Structure 1
Amino acid sequence: MLQTFQMIDKIFYVIIAIIGVPVNVLAIVTLSQGKCGLSSCTTYYLVAMAMADLLLIIVEVILRQINSYYFPSSFLDITPVCSVMSVLSCAAVDCSVWFTVTFSFDRFVAICCPKLKATYCTQKIAGIVLATTFILFCLKNVPKYFVYEPQEIIDNVPWFCSVKASYSTEPGWLGFDWFDTVLTPLPPIVLILLFNILTVRHIIVISRLRKGLRGQSKGGNHSDPEMESRRKSMILLFTISSSFIILWLPYVLYCFNITYNFDTDSFYVFQQVGYMLQNLSCCTNTFIYGRLSRSSESRSRTF
């Protein structure tokens, strides 16, 4: 069972690397040119999300997962190097998830709060929000560098990263671990659901009002491109929420020990599946939000 799963695991990460790197690079280049019909504010968020996803693919998928399978005992396994990669990987995951949250809020404001939109949905505010989020989560993950110790020392060179025993016993490390586990992804799940539910509710209300006004003015059923655009926006919003929750659910269950009745092999498989889906979730954000932003941008220009 474990051998079969490890083969699937190896193939899975290779596929993510082959597809994810060029697609995210292409997204960054295309969006940066500003020729996609999106506002500069929206472009900022999408580029930031694509860059975070690209960093995640390079560090976590290629340098950690693929390297461990195909190039064991390389210089990347030297303790200081793998400690830095752990910090970068965790920071990339946090930024990818929380950039998604900040963009969800930006789309909520753009669609539901026309008065606030003029002051909040700007290039300057987007830059401040993204820079602040990036700095905070980089600082938040710096302590993870000191979580590891060498597993063995060969010719005075420390190799591999082993979690210190104090990480599971000292109150400071226990508090940090609890904070780190809760911060991502529980608040993001709640916030994304909240913003998307409020956005969908607003879309439904406005659509009903528009349908009633069109019915009164034209006296019949007529096709309405704006209502069709709103319908597509709602589908995309539900896709975002369901995709994020489903792909992060195994990781959440693993982190909170919901799987304590599993045997050792099953627990290992469940743990790895959680990491696989977590990485997949971070790599799909840009695609979903790219489509959402185009739909909401075209609709917001009318209202």
Structure 2
Amino acid sequence: MKANDTQINQQRLIDKPNLLTIMILSRGNCGLSKCICVYMLAMATADLLVLIINVMVYYIFSYHFPLSFLSHTPVCTVILYTANVSLDVSVWFTVSFTFERFVKICSLRFTTKYCTERTAAAVITTVAVLIFIKNIPFFIAYEPEQIINELRWGCQSSVAFFSSPLGVACSWFHSIWRVWLPFTVIVLFNSLTVRRVFVASRARSGLRGHSTENQCDPEMENRRKSIILLFTISGSFILFWLTANVSFVASRLTNTTYYRGDRTDPGYIATETGAMLKYLSSCSNTFIYAATQRRFREELKTVLKSPGTQIERLVKNGRKSI
């Protein structure tokens, strides 16, 4: 029980950055546009869901309490479904944010129509609905491990489903959707954004002339901040997910699974390390915002100080009443 308590306490510490991010962004005092706030709030919420469902419910509660109601096959299937949904949502909200920054920096004509709060909410909602629909086959992809007193326990991959044409198609579509496509889209749009910024910077420096090149350029400063925020978020996402994606692709190509093998096997170590890193990425954005956004740091300090401020006010009011 002490080990379980330690893991739960560690999970609570990991959840707090996302809760702080949601709280700070909801206040709307970070100096960011409403459009980008919608995407950042969506990413923070998705990351929080990953930590709660995938880490706390699936890895901690389901693993350490194998005879609880979480091990009933219907409940276990729902957990697996929501775990895959939360991971997909976290990945594709990051992709949506990358595309929004690409449009904002590279397409001024399309910016006024796309980079709005309403459009951002519509994009986030559409992506979430598509992901919910896309993962529906998971409800028929698992079967009970054993049946005791007419109760179905545990979840294991259905051989009949994954050997069928539908199962093979769903498996490859799932790998493309979560592994190949997000990385390709992020790298592509970031490359186009860098190219656009580089060309615009050279053109703008030429227009301003040598006499004013050392003066502050507000437009280029705003672009620089946008680029820093974009690259830190998408770059950290790629780095944290790289190990998991490489091991996932390797296991698909070689048709091997390391979870039931020797724990000293390099493939098993790579798979578990990749899983740890991709879940760790769900709590990194808060530190990125704090490192790159001055207003976010100020709001973070205000939120952290607020409990102490409230206690101080209560103490002062108590003294006055006495």
TM tier, shorter chain? 0.7 to 0.9
Residue 139 and residue 294 in structure 1: after superposition, are their counterparts in 2 closer, same or farther (change >3 A)? farther
Q: What is the rounded CA distance, in whole Å, between the counterparts of 1:135 and 1:152 in structure 2?
A: 33
Opposite residue 239 of structure 1, the aligned amino acid is T
Q: What is the rounded CA distance, in whole Å, between the counterparts of 2:133 and 2:94 in structure 1?
A: 19
- Secondary structure of 2:144's counterpart equals strand
Q: What is the rounded CA distance, in whole Å, between the counterparts of 2:176 and 2:289 in structure 1?
A: 24
Correspondence for 1:42 among 36, 47, 51? 36
Shift of 1:202: 1.8
- 1:52-88 C-alpha deviation (Å, 9 max, x unpaired): 1111111100001111443332211111111101111
Opposite residue 269 of structure 1, the aligned amino acid is I
Q: Which runs of 5+ in 2 are unaligned?
A: 296-322
Aligned counterparts, 1:1-303, within 5 A? 15=10, 17-218=11-212, 221-222=214-215, 224=217, 227=220, 230-257=223-250, 264-265=262-263, 266=265, 267-285=267-285, 287-288=287-288
CA RMSD of aligned residues (A): 2.9
Residue 190 and residue 97 in structure 1: after superposition, are their counterparts in 2 closer, same or farther (change >3 A)? same
Shift of 1:264: 3.9
Shift of 1:241: 4.2
Residue 251 and residue 86 in structure 1: after superposition, are their counterparts in 2 closer, same or farther (change >3 A)? same
- Secondary structure of 1:256's counterpart equals helix
Residue 11 and residue 182 in structure 1: after superposition, are their counterparts in 2 closer, same or farther (change >3 A)? farther
Opposite residue 247 of structure 1, the aligned amino acid is F
Q: What is the rounded CA distance, in whole Å, between the counterparts of 2:215 and 2:288 in structure 1?
A: 30
Q: What is the rounded CA distance, in whole Å, between the counterparts of 2:108 and 2:294 in structure 1?
A: 18
Calculate percent identity across the aligned residue pairs.
Answer: 42
Opposite residue 178 of structure 1, the aligned amino acid is W
Using the size of structure 1 for normalisation, the TM-score is 0.82
Q: What is the rounded CA distance, in whole Å, between the counterparts of 1:249 and 1:271 in structure 2?
A: 11
Shift of 1:112: 1.7
Shift of 1:42: 1.1
Q: Is the 8 A contact 1:99 1:130 kept in 2?
A: yes
Q: What is the rounded CA distance, in whole Å, between the counterparts of 2:174 and 2:9 in structure 1?
A: 28
Most deviating of 283-292 and 72-81: 283-292
Q: What is the rounded CA distance, in whole Å, between the counterparts of 2:173 and 2:18 in structure 1?
A: 30
Q: Which runs of 5+ in 1 are unaligned?
A: 1-6, 296-303
Shift of 1:231: 4.4
Q: What is the rounded CA distance, in whole Å, between the counterparts of 1:149 and 1:165 in structure 2?
A: 9
Opposite residue 28 of structure 2, the aligned amino acid is G
Opposite residue 284 of structure 2, the aligned amino acid is T
Q: Is the 8 A contact 1:13 1:61 kept in 2?
A: no
- 1:201-256 C-alpha deviation (Å, 9 max, x unpaired): 222222223333344343x6445565555445444444344423332222222222
Q: What is the rounded CA distance, in whole Å, between the counterparts of 1:12 and 1:97 in structure 2?
A: 25
Q: Is the 8 A contact 1:52 1:92 kept in 2?
A: yes
- Secondary structure of 2:155's counterpart equals strand
Residue 37 and residue 110 in structure 1: after superposition, are their counterparts in 2 closer, same or farther (change >3 A)? same
- Secondary structure of 2:29's counterpart equals coil
Q: Is the 8 A contact 1:31 1:47 kept in 2?
A: yes
